[in-house]
C-alpha cells in the first residue's frame, strides 16, 4: 500500500493539536515551540504533495478511498486537483507565520488581578483549524467534506470568543461582551448555512445513491444520472448558500467585520486568508462539478451579487474608523472579485479567481499581521489614534505600505496578476459587470492610501514618540511573505501551471468555452 500522503498532511496538525493541548499550563514556551514545529512539518508535507502532483496527469491524484459508514454509502475518500494543491500549500504556508505572529497573544493577562488564558489551548485550536481546512480541500466524498466544513467552526468559535483582541477602547468588560457577540454571530451565520447544505447533501444522496464526488460527476457526464431541472437548482442553492456565507458574499457577509474586529490579528488572518477560502474553493469543486446546469442558470444573479460585494465592501472600507474593520470590508470586496471570476465561466476568470485566492491570502496576511503589530504597540484599533508612525518605526511603516499596495493590486505585486485575469475573463462575457467592477480598484486605492496617510504620515503624535520598530520575530513574519508577494507578482507561472489544467476540466464540466474575440477579418 502506498503511503497515505493526503491523510498524513491533515493528520499531522490534528495530532499536533492534541499534543499541544496536553502540554502543562506552566510550560507555555514548550507549547508554542511544539505548535510551530508541527506547522513547519505540515508545510514540508504540503511541499511533498505539490511535488508529487502531476498537472498533466489525472484530475484527482494521490487518491485514498476506504469504507467508512457503508450502510449510508459514506466513504473516507480523498484526492486533490491543481486547485486543491494550491490551497493546501497556501494553508500550510500561512500557519507557521500565524503562530509566530501570535507568539504572545495568549500569554497571561493582567487586569487588576492576574487572569490566565490557556496558552497551549490557543495554539492547539489553530492547528485543529489547519487540519480541518486541509481535509476540506482534500475530501472527494461530499459527506466527509460537510463534516469538516462544519467542524472547523468549533475551534474558530473559541479562538474568537476566548482569545480576542486586547486593544479595546471600552475596557475589558465591554470587550468580553463584544467578543462573545462576534463569536456567536459567526457561529450562527455559518451554522445556518451549514444546515441548509445538510438538507441539500441528503437530497443529493436520495437522487444519486452515494456521496462520491467523482462517481456522481462521472454519472452526470455520461448521462447515467439525470436530475430534473428543479431538483438540480434546489440542490445547487443549498450548497451555494453555505459557501456564500463562508466566502463571504453580500448580503451574507455581516459576521466577518465583527469576527475580524474582535479577533487577534493572527486569528483574523486565519479566518479571512485560510478558512474563508474553503467557501470559494467549494463553489468550484462542488457547485460547478455537481450541478453544471444549475450553475449556469444562477450565474447572472451571482455575478450581480459579486459586483455588489466588490463595490459595497470597498465603499464601506473607505468610511471605517477601525483598522481591522477596514481590512475586513476590503476582504469582502476582494472575495467579490474571486466569486465573479468563478462564475464568469471563462478560463481566464476561473484561473484568475484561483490565483486570487492564493494571492489574497498572502497579501491580507502581510497587511493584517503588520497592523496587529502596530495595534499591540498603541493598544488601539482606531485610525485616529495614530499619525507620523513612519518617523519612529520606518520598517513597520514600510511593510505596512507594501501590504497595502498589494491589497490595491499594484502592478508587480501578486494580486495584480489575479485581479487582471478576473477582469479580462469577466469582460469577455459580461462587459457591463466588468466595467462596474473596475470601480472597486479605484476605491481600493482610496481606502488603502488614506489608511496609510492617516496612520503613518503627518505630525508624530506625542504618545507615539517611543514606539519601537519591528522586532526580529516580527520581521521574520513579514519579510518572507513580502518576498513571496513580489515573486508571484513577476512570475506567477508556478501556480498557474498547477491550477490551469483543473480550470480547463471545470470549464468542461459546465460545458463552457471561452468567447472568441470579435475582430475584423484581415483584408
pLDDT in tens, the chain (523 residues): 478 999 999 999 999 999 998 888 778 888 899 999 999 999 999 999 999 998 888 888 888 888 888 777 788 899 999 999 999 999 999 999 999 998 887 776 654 434 445 788 889 999 999 999 999 999 999 999 999 999 999 999 988 888 876 655 555 667 677 888 888 898 999 999 989 999 999 998 888 888 888 888 888 777 777 888 888 899 999 999 999 999 889 888 888 888 888 888 899 999 999 998 999 999 998 989 888 889 899 999 999 999 999 999 999 999 888 899 999 999 999 999 999 999 988 889 999 999 999 999 999 999 999 999 998 888 888 888 888 888 998 999 999 999 999 988 899 999 999 999 999 999 988 899 999 999 999 999 999 999 999 998 888 888 888 888 889 999 999 999 999 999 999 999 999 999 999 888 888 877 777 777 666 655 5
In a domain, 516, yes or no: no
Q: Is residue 88 part of a domain?
A: yes
In a domain, 523, yes or no: no
Question: Within a domain: residue 517?
Answer: no
Distances (CA, A) of 47 to 1, 87, 203, 330: 21, 12, 37, 30
DSSP 108: P
- Is 514 contained in some domain? no
138 is in which domain, residue-wise? 5-509
Whole-number Cα distances in Å, 227 to 77, 233, 501: 24, 9, 27
Rounded distance between C-alpha atoms, residue 449 and residue 498, angstroms: 34
User: Which residues, at least 6 apart from 33, have a Cβ–Cβ distance to it below 8 Å?
Assistant: none
Task: Please answer whether residues 400 and 433 qualify as being in contact, where contact means their C-beta atoms are separated by less than 8 angstroms.
Answer: no
Q: How far apart, in whole angstroms, are the C-alpha atoms of residue 276 and residue 387?
A: 32
Q: Pick the closest to residue 501 from 77, 83, 153, 69 (CA basis).
A: 83
Q: What pTM does this model have?
A: 0.90
Q: Is residue 471 part of a domain?
A: yes
Would you say residue 452 lies in a domain? yes
The Cα 477–Cα 481 span in angstroms is 7
Query: How many domains does the chain contain in total?
Result: 1
Is 473 domain-assigned? yes
Where is 143: in which H helix or E strand?
A: helix 142-151
Amino acid at each position: 500500500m502506498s503511503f497515505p500522503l493526503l491523510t498524513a498532511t491533515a493528520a499531522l496538525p490534528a495530532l499536533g493539536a492534541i499534543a499541544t493541548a496536553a502540554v502543562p499550563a506552566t510550560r507555555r514556551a514548550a507549547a508554542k515551540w511544539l505548535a510551530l514545529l508541527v506547522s513547519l512539518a505540515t508545510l514540508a508535507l504540503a511541499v511533498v504533495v505539490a511535488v508529487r502532483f502531476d498537472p498533466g496527469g489525472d484530475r484527482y491524484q494521490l487518491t485514498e478511498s476506504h469504507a467508512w459508514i457503508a450502510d449510508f454509502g459514506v466513504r473516507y475518500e480523498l484526492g486533490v486537483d491543481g486547485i486543491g494543491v494550491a490551497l493546501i500549500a497556501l494553508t500550510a504556508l500561512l500557519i507557521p507565520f500565524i503562530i509566530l505572529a501570535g507568539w504572545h497573544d495568549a500569554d497571561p493577562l493582567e487586569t487588576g488581578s492576574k487572569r490566565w488564558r490557556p496558552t497551549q489551548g490557543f495554539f492547539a485550536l489553530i492547528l485543529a483549524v489547519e487540519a480541518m481546512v486541509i481535509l476540506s480541500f482534500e475530501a472527494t466524498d461530499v459527506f466527509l467534506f460537510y463534516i469538516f466544513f462544519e467542524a472547523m467552526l468549533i475551534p474558530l468559535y473559541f479562538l474568537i470568543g476566548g482569545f480576542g483582541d486586547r486593544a479595546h477602547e471600552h475596557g475589558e468588560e465591554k470587550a468580553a461582551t463584544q467578543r462573545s457577540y462576534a463569536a456567536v454571530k459567526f457561529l450562527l451565520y455559518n451554522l445556518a448555512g451549514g444546515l441548509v447544505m445538510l438538507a441539500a447533501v441528503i437530497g443529493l444522496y436520495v437522487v444519486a445513491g452515494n456521496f462520491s464526488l467523482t462517481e456522481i460527476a462521472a454519472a452526470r457526464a455520461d448521462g447515467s444520472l439525470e436530475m430534473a431541472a428543479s431538483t438540480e437548482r434546489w440542490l445547487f442553492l443549498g450548497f451555494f448558500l453555505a459557501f456564500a456565507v463562508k466566502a463571504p458574499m453580500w448580503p451574507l457577509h455581516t459576521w466577518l467585520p465583527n469576527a475580524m474586529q474582535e479577533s487577534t490579528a493572527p486569528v483574523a488572518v486565519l479566518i479571512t486568508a485560510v478558512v474563508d477560502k474553503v467557501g470559494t474553493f467549494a463553489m468550484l469543486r462542488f457547485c460547478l462539478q455537481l450541478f453544471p446546469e444549475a450553475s449556469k442558470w444562477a450565474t447572472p444573479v451571482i455575478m450581480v451579487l459579486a459586483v455588489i460585494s466588490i463595490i459595497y465592501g470597498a465603499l464601506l472600507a473607505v468610511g471605517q474608523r477601525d483598522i481591522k474593520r477596514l481590512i475586513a470590508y476590503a476582504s469582502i470586496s476582494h472575495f467579490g472579485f474571486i466569486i465573479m471570476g468563478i462564475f464568469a465561466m471563462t478560463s481566464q476568470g476561473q484561473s484568475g479567481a484561483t490565483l486570487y485566492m492564493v494571492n489574497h491570502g498572502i497579501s491580507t496576511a502581510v497587511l493584517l499581521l503588520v497592523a496587529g503589530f502596530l495595534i499591540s504597540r498603541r493598544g488601539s484599533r482606531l485610525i485616529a489614534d495614530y499619525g507620523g508612525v513612519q518617523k519612529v518605526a520606518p520598517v513597520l511603516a514600510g511593510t505596512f505600505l507594501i501590504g497595502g499596495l498589494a491589497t490595491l493590486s499594484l502592478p508587480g505585486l501578486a494580486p495584480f496578476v489575479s485581479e487582471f485575469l478576473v477582469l479580462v475573463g469577466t469582460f469577455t462575457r459580461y462587459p457591463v459587470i466588468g466595467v462596474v467592477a473596475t470601480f472597486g480598484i479605484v476605491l481600493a486605492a482610496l481606502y488603502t492610501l488614506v489608511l496609510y496617510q492617516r496612520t503613518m504620515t503627518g505630525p508624530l503624535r506625542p504618545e507615539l514618540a517611543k514606539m519601537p520598530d519591528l522586532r526580529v520575530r516580527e520581521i521574520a513574519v513579514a519579510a518572507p511573505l513580502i518576498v513571496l508577494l513580489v515573486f508571484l507578482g513577476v512570475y506567477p507561472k508556478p501556480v498557474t501551471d498547477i491550477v490551469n489544467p483543473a480550470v480547463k476540466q471545470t470549464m468542461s464540466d459546465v460545458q463552457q468555452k471561452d468567447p472568441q474575440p470579435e475582430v475584423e477579418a484581415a483584408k
